[in-house]
Amino acid sequence: MSAIPLDYETLRLIWWLLLGVLLIGFAIMGGRDLGVGALLPFAARTDEERRVLLNVVGPTWEGNQVWLVLGGGAIFAAFPPLYAVSFSGFYLAMIVILLALILRPVGFKFRGKISDPRWRQVWDWALFVGGAVPALIFGVAVGNVLLGAPFHFDGSMRAFYTGNFFQLLMPFALLCGLVSLGMIVTQGAAVIVGRTSGLLAERARTHGTLAGLLTVVLFALGGFWVAFGLNGYVITSAVDPSAPINPLNKTVELVRGGWLANFGAHPLMIVAPLLGFAGVIIAVLALQARWRLVPLLAASAGIFGIISTAGLSLFPFLLPSSTMPNAGLTLWDASSSHLTLFIMLLVTVVFLPIVLLYTGYVFRVMRGPVSAASLTKNPNAY
């Protein structure tokens, strides 16, 4: 191990940051597609308008899924106990998300096969479900992480999840789900406004403004709830960031407002929630000003700030336990080995820039407005 140039603590912290980058990357890039799908039945009134929206995201949505795949892969390889507990405990929620996401490729491919309006309307609503449901459930999942998941370990370190699907639908978790849905819809509206025109863009502007304002209000409400009505998990024992993994080798207490402890210890972290508020507010103002690019950049910054706020609040926790607090998983006691993290980092240094360059190239090629006239010139259009 001495040949590895980075110590175990540093590698663990790097992979925590990389996991955050991948999840935020999916929220921003995949949020474009989810948001447009969630707005499909409302922003577009005619079949022609809905075809325009499908072709706004159609050429790039599959590539944006890479961020979700990379995020799941990073959890599996860098934090195996987190993968084991979350993917088994939240199994039904994961199935709902996957089924909803499956509706998107099916909807894209089958909607145009028959010209019957009723056939297309069914697939329009399927695409709506494929956009709105994952956006909502991902936020509910973050809310449940802040609440703590009902799991524990036995003497042989076997994990047992004792909750059920309906226990995930707690009021605070649903609030987080609505924040997630609101910011994703704002993102989708910004994409539509940036690449379309006329009544379609105007309707998207209206819906995006309402979603953005709702996001700001609910995000603020969530902040007050975390500060004054929610118990946070605080590690009260000494922590060795370089120790071998053992989730039970610590003591944890529940403290009212405990999730704000990191912001008190590191005041500069306040930049994250401020960016969340400012990004969404600027996106709303830019939508009303009828700018094209600024709403998307601002909405993306808002997503970055909101998700970063949750991540910084949780640090160093990855998944707290509500039934056995000292079994909560942190990046210090739920990571892969020193060597594994280092080898994965080398692979990431090589391939992540390739993903970024290819994504940038694709969006550059596919840039420009989409209209009914442009669809007639493209035989491959949806």
Q: Residues with Cβ < 8 Å from 245, sequence gap 6 or more? A: 81, 333, 334, 335
pLDDT of 288 over the 50 cut: yes
- When pLDDT is cut at 50, 70 and 90, the band that residue 43 belongs to is very high
pLDDT of 22 over the 50 cut: yes
Q: Residues with Cβ < 8 Å from 71, sequence gap 6 or more? A: 19, 22, 23, 25, 26
pTM of the model: 0.92
- From residue 366, give the alpha-carbon distance in Å to each of 29, 130, 298, 306, 359: 14, 23, 21, 28, 11
pLDDT of 178 over the 90 cut: yes
Please state the φ and ψ torsions of residue 182, each to the nearest 5 degrees.
-65, -45
What letter does residue 90 receive in the DSSP assignment?
A: T
Specify the pLDDT at position 3: 73
**Of the given ranges (62-66, 78-82, 299-303, 341-345), which has the lowest mean pLDDT?**
62-66
Q: Residues with Cβ < 8 Å from 334, sequence gap 6 or more? A: 79, 80, 81, 82, 245, 247, 318, 319
Please state, in angstroms and rounded to a whole number, the distance separating the CA atoms of residues 46 and 117.
10
In percent, the amount of the chain with pLDDT more than 70 equals 99
Specify the pLDDT at position 155: 78
How do beta strands 252-256 and 317-319 pair? unpaired
Strand pairing partners for 288? none
Residue 146's Cβ-side half-sphere holds a number of Cα atoms within 13 Å equal to: 33
Specify the pLDDT at position 372: 79
Q: What angle do CA 31, 32, 37 make, to 5 degrees?
A: 90
Instruction: Taking residues 48-69, report their average pLDDT.
Output: 88
Cβ neighbours around 70 below 10 Å, total: 21
Q: Does residue 17 sit in helix, strand or coil?
A: helix
- When pLDDT is cut at 50, 70 and 90, the band that residue 64 belongs to is confident
Instruction: Taking residues 128-156, report their average pLDDT.
Output: 92
pLDDT of 2 over the 60 cut: no
pLDDT of 1 over the 50 cut: no
Specify the pLDDT at position 310: 96
Specify the pLDDT at position 12: 95
Q: Which residue has the higher pLDDT, 168 or 182?
A: 182
Residue 221's Cβ-side half-sphere holds a number of Cα atoms within 13 Å equal to: 15
Q: Which residue has the higher pLDDT, 370 or 216?
A: 216
Please state, in angstroms and rounded to a whole number, the distance separating the CA atoms of residues 41 and 122.
10
Specify the pLDDT at position 203: 95
Long-range contacts of 80-86 (CB under 8 A, 24+ apart): 80/334, 80/336, 81/159, 81/245, 81/247, 81/329, 81/334, 82/318, 82/319, 82/329, 82/334, 84/159, 85/149, 85/151, 85/159, 85/161, 85/319, 85/329, 86/149, 86/319
Please state, in angstroms and rounded to a whole number, the distance separating the CA atoms of residues 116 and 342.
55
- When pLDDT is cut at 50, 70 and 90, the band that residue 114 belongs to is confident
Task: Quote the mean pLDDT of the chain.
Answer: 91
Please state, in angstroms and rounded to a whole number, the distance separating the CA atoms of residues 233 and 212.
30
Q: Which residue has the higher pLDDT, 160 or 2?
A: 160
Residue 376 — left, alpha, or beta (φ > 0 → left; ψ -120 to 50 → alpha)?
Answer: alpha
